[in-house]
Amino acid sequence: MKKTLLLIGTFSLGLLLAGCASDHVLHTTDGQTIVVQGKPVVDEDTGMITYKDIDGKEQQINRNQIKDMNSVN
């Protein structure tokens, strides 16, 4: 019984934490739409935006190629 309650509690906590990380949408100047996992990180020194794509791969794009950035949730 305790194992079941622990499993349910752990699963619920995981869902709660997953719900807090909202995805973002990047619209580029050339018309592309990029869906991003979580919030992109902007490097002020280089002007590069680092993000994780839908497949979970880390990608980078130059800030001047982004027209706008919005949260999905």
Residue 58 lies in a domain: yes
Report yes or no on whether pTM surpasses 0.75: no
Domain that holds residue 66: 22-73
Q: Of 15, 34, 17, 42, which Cα lies nearest the Cα of 72?
A: 34
Would you place residue 73 in the very low, low, confident or very high pLDDT band (cuts 50, 70, 90)?
confident
Pairing, β 24-28 against β 33-43: antiparallel
The pLDDT score that the predictor gives to residue 47 is 94
The CATH number of whichever domain residue 32 belongs to comes to 2.30.30.100
Structure confidence by residue, pLDDT tens digits, 9-56: 555 555 444 555 689 999 999 999 999 999 999 999 999 999 999 899
Q: How far apart are the first and last CA of the chain?
A: 36
Instruction: Match 């499993």 to its residue by tokens.
Output: 7
Instruction: Match 């949408």 to its residue by tokens.
Output: 25
User: How many structural domains is the chain composed of?
Assistant: 1
